[in-house]
Chain A
Amino acid sequence: MEKRYSVTERVSRAILSPWATGAAIGLAVCFGLWLPTLSIGLKPLGEIYLALLQMCSLPLVICGVVASIGRVLRDGQSKRYLGRLVMVVVGGLFVTAALAIALGLIVRPGSGLSTEASQTLGRLLSATEIQGGTGAPLKEVSLVDFLTSAVPKNIFSALSLGSQLPILFFSIVLGISLGVTGASRSASALESFEATFDALLKLIEWLLYALPLGLLSLLSAQIAEAGLSIFVAMLKLILLVNAAVLISLIAGNFIIARKTGRPYFTVLRQLLESLLIAFATKSSFASIPSALRAMQKLGMNRGTTDLVIPLSVSLNPIGNVHYYTISAIFIAQLYGVSIPPSAMVTFLIGGVLAAVAGSALPSAAAIGVISILLEPLGLPVGSAVILILAIDPFIDPATTALNVHGSCVAASLVDDGAGNSEHPGVTQSPFSTN
């Protein structure tokens, strides 16, 4: 028997259906290619949408992490839980780095560039460097800088700058202290964090009505602004990184399907929305709320997802691993430097560290972390940063989407399926798409 819907319900279901999203993406490609002026004119609209998502995401992440850590500690299951989280994160990063290195060495994206491609790259370097004059090269990021930047001197300045890592650090510490404070005193604090979290999730749900419009304006501007000649010149690298992302995504989705016991394509369909948001906004934080909703719908323990997904978006950025490791191999091949087998382990660790350090920085500055990989090999960092920054628009969307997907995989691996009703009042979306 068919269920009857009111007109409003029908409209809302239509807007939130994957078809609307797909149509928006198709339209964005057409706009970007054939109506570049209009597309760039639409950009402010997309920026407003992104700002709205980010406005909700940051407090949502804080509330989620604080409340979940507090709960975990109070329930006394922290050791088992956190130990598994560390193992999943470290294991995921290293497996991904090994895959990236293998792909880079087999496909060799930086070897045998055509004369035209070399000339395009050379012209780009000349134009950028002459424009900057003697300009100071992009600041190279060292490991010590990264560790120092993880601890906020002033939490409010970290919040106002939206620096992910210091905010997470503070949230974890606050969650731990609330968890070990006597239950009678911290209960109301934890509850208020949870209530704020639920309210923000509600806000995000409303925002999802504008998702097709947001995707249209963000993607069309991105396509219109992308430089086509550089795209062609570095096509092999762009394709390889995106292929690596796809391999990891397909494999990761198997893990989620297995752990949740849901069919493969149901999992993919649930996660599609958050992957698209990540892809279009290039902000993994902006897509966290959508990922949380999806994982809950897949029957995951909310206590796990609220903690693991925000944490591992920053600490388990497997998309970044592909990005930086394969790009570094590209640069090594471009300069005819082969990575000696003895340096392979250093390179592997470097790829993992660069990825984690990069997730804490905005994308333009993040590329500087590639120096962690290049410097030990004596490769030039300045030209590498310029070249990779030029193709960032073609790599960042996919790698950001993988960062989010990877954190969902981590959540499914950490979760043991116990105590699904740990949190009272799990938000049930009124616009569920299935």
Chain B
Amino acid sequence: MPRLLDRSAQVILFLLAFCTGLGLARAQSVLPPDIERIRSSGELRVAMTADLWPPFFFLNKSKELVGLDVDLATEIARRLGVRVQFVREAKTFDEIVTMVVDRRADIAVAYLSDTLERARLVRFTHAYVQVRPAVLLNRSLAGLSRRGPDLKNLLNHAEAKIGVTKGSSAEGFAAADYPLAKIISYENWTDITRDVAGENLLAGVSDEIDAKNWQTANPEGAIAIETIIRRGPPDTMGIAVHRDDQHLLYWINHLLAIKNSDGTLGKLHQKYIENDLWKKDIQ
């Protein structure tokens, strides 16, 4: 019965092939390729900007990199069982995204807003922290415009000049919230605050982190400039991963969910966003 033999030979061959395949896989690794890649390299490369952004990442008095993002990235690496390696090369926040796309870094934990534009290129985890939008308003110009205290009324008209940092999430917010105003893009936030103080700009739009850092650096500035923390939709920060690293994304989201329910994320928010105690340790 050659046909029957043929059939059993086929079955035996198939079983053999299956077992060999399984054995090969087991010998290689049980881990998905994205996790495996990081595990085998022994380090998690975390992208950040070259500029420091307290309280997310900054140098303390003993010149160590610390901050909310540093705490979080270190914990992710520890749970993955690898060392953490911070790659601080990017000049802008958009460049951080490019680094993850080009696989020059595994993830980005870098005070990075999860905007829709960025989410076209990389995958974002759930937001791990959110900061409220803030407006720095020149008091004298606001008083002279005689438009009353309402912010929308003050900023949304043709004579209003508003500064935003190029490539920041505030750029999009400002254009959407104040369509009639003249939105001017700046290279950095320091120039915006200088021009608001110098009455070249009516206002600068960013978030509460930028606003509070400016207040700390220029305590007398509040005489000329009012800081308004807006109730509007907050700016959310997510961790960026490569679009192919799907399992890593799931795993980090799972870790964030645990950290959220055990109160760790809340404590981080309290330590770095609500309180100013970290400022005592800044270099």
CB-nearest residue of chain A relative to B215? A126
A262: Cβ under 8 A from any B Cβ: no
5 A-B pairs (CB sep. < 8 Å): A130-B229, A134-B229, A134-B231, A380-B143, A383-B139
Q: Contact at B222–A126, with CB atoms within 8 Å? A: yes
Given contacts A133-B231, A134-B228, contact A121 B223 (CB under 8 A): yes
Q: Contact at B226–A122, with CB atoms within 8 Å? A: no
B219: Cβ under 8 A from any A Cβ: yes
CB-nearest residue of chain A relative to B151? A134
State the CA gap A374–B229 with chains docked (Å). Answer: 25
Q: Contact at A119–B220, with CB atoms within 8 Å? A: yes
B218: Cβ under 8 A from any A Cβ: yes
Q: Contact at B226–A123, with CB atoms within 8 Å? A: no
CB of A258 to closest CB in B, whole Å: 45
B145: chain A residues at CB < 8 Å are 378
Interface residues of B in 72-109 (CB under 8 A from A): none
Chain A positions near chain B (C-beta within 8 angstroms):
115, 118-123, 125-126, 129-130, 133-134, 136-137, 334-335, 337, 374-375, 378-383
Given contacts A122-B220, A122-B222, A126-B227, contact A379 B215 (CB under 8 A): no
A115: chain B residues at CB < 8 Å are 220
Which of B139, B212, B229 contacts A335, CB < 8 Å?
A: B139
Q: Contact at B219–A382, with CB atoms within 8 Å? A: no
State the CA gap A118–B149 with chains docked (Å). Answer: 24
State the CA gap A402–B228 with chains docked (Å). Answer: 38
B61: Cβ under 8 A from any A Cβ: no
Q: Contact at B226–A380, with CB atoms within 8 Å? A: yes
B68: Cβ under 8 A from any A Cβ: no
B201: Cβ under 8 A from any A Cβ: no
Q: Contact at B229–A379, with CB atoms within 8 Å? A: no
Q: Contact at B220–A118, with CB atoms within 8 Å? A: yes
Q: Contact at A380–B142, with CB atoms within 8 Å? A: yes
State the CA gap A115–B221 with chains docked (Å). Answer: 11
Given contacts A133-B231, A381-B143, contact A122 B149 (CB under 8 A): no
B228: chain A residues at CB < 8 Å are 129, 134
State the CA gap A189–B173 with chains docked (Å). Answer: 69
CB-nearest residue of chain B relative to A128? B222
CB of B9 to closest CB in A, whole Å: 78
B220: chain A residues at CB < 8 Å are 115, 118-119, 121-122
CB-nearest residue of chain A relative to B149? A137
State the CA gap A122–B224 with chains docked (Å). Answer: 9
CB of B160 to closest CB in A, whole Å: 16
Interface residues of B in 204-262 (CB under 8 A from A): 212, 215, 218-224, 226-231
B224: chain A residues at CB < 8 Å are 335
CB-nearest residue of chain B relative to A336? B140
Q: Contact at B222–A129, with CB atoms within 8 Å? A: yes
Other than the given A126-B219, A130-B215, A380-B139, 7 more pairs (CB < 8 A) read A119-B219, A122-B219, A129-B227, A134-B151, A380-B140, A381-B143, A382-B226
CB of B7 to closest CB in A, whole Å: 78
Q: Contact at B219–A123, with CB atoms within 8 Å? A: yes
CB-nearest residue of chain B relative to A337? B140
B146: Cβ under 8 A from any A Cβ: yes
Q: Contact at B139–A382, with CB atoms within 8 Å? A: yes
A136: chain B residues at CB < 8 Å are 149
A126: chain B residues at CB < 8 Å are 215, 219, 222, 227
Interface size on B, residues (CB 8 A): 24
Q: Contact at B222–A335, with CB atoms within 8 Å? A: no
B1: Cβ under 8 A from any A Cβ: no
A129: chain B residues at CB < 8 Å are 222, 226-228
Interface residues of B in 130-158 (CB under 8 A from A): 139-140, 142-146, 149, 151
Those 3 A-B pairs whose CB atoms lie nearest each other, nearest first: A118-B220, A380-B139, A378-B144
B212: chain A residues at CB < 8 Å are 130
CB-nearest residue of chain A relative to B142? A380
State the CA gap A334–B215 with chains docked (Å). Answer: 19
B221: chain A residues at CB < 8 Å are 122
Which of A123, A337, A375, A381 contacts B222, CB < 8 Å?
A: A123
CB of B277 to closest CB in A, whole Å: 15
State the CA gap A416–B234 with chains docked (Å). Answer: 69
Q: Contact at A382–B223, with CB atoms within 8 Å? A: no
Q: Contact at B144–A122, with CB atoms within 8 Å? A: no
CB-nearest residue of chain A relative to B148? A140
A379: chain B residues at CB < 8 Å are 140, 143
State the CA gap A136–B228 with chains docked (Å). Answer: 11
Which of B140, B149, B222, B229 contacts A125, CB < 8 Å?
A: B222
Q: Contact at A118–B223, with CB atoms within 8 Å? A: yes
Q: Contact at B222–A382, with CB atoms within 8 Å? A: no
State the CA gap A36–B146 with chains docked (Å). Answer: 44
A119: chain B residues at CB < 8 Å are 219-220
State the CA gap A123–B144 with chains docked (Å). Answer: 24
State the CA gap A121–B215 with chains docked (Å). Answer: 12
State the CA gap A122–B145 with chains docked (Å). Answer: 23
Q: Contact at B215–A133, with CB atoms within 8 Å? A: no
A380: chain B residues at CB < 8 Å are 139-140, 142-143, 226
Q: Contact at A334–B223, with CB atoms within 8 Å? A: yes
Q: Contact at A378–B219, with CB atoms within 8 Å? A: no
Q: Contact at B140–A335, with CB atoms within 8 Å? A: yes
The CB with the most chain B CB atoms within 10 A, among A120, A123, A130, is that of: A130
CB of A163 to closest CB in B, whole Å: 25
The CB with the most chain A CB atoms within 10 A, among B142, B215, B219, B221, is that of: B219
CB of A131 to closest CB in B, whole Å: 10
A383: chain B residues at CB < 8 Å are 139, 222-223, 226
CB of A329 to closest CB in B, whole Å: 16
State the CA gap A129–B134 with chains docked (Å). Answer: 12
A334: chain B residues at CB < 8 Å are 223
CB-nearest residue of chain B relative to A117? B220
State the CA gap A65–B224 with chains docked (Å). Answer: 47
CB of B207 to closest CB in A, whole Å: 13
B139: chain A residues at CB < 8 Å are 335, 380, 382-383
CB-nearest residue of chain B relative to A379? B143
Q: Contact at B231–A125, with CB atoms within 8 Å? A: no
Which of B151, B219, B227 contacts A130, CB < 8 Å?
A: B227
CB of A381 to closest CB in B, whole Å: 7
Which of A122, A375, A378 contacts B140, CB < 8 Å?
A: A378
State the CA gap A366–B223 with chains docked (Å). Answer: 22
State the CA gap A177–B144 with chains docked (Å). Answer: 48
CB-nearest residue of chain B relative to A121? B223
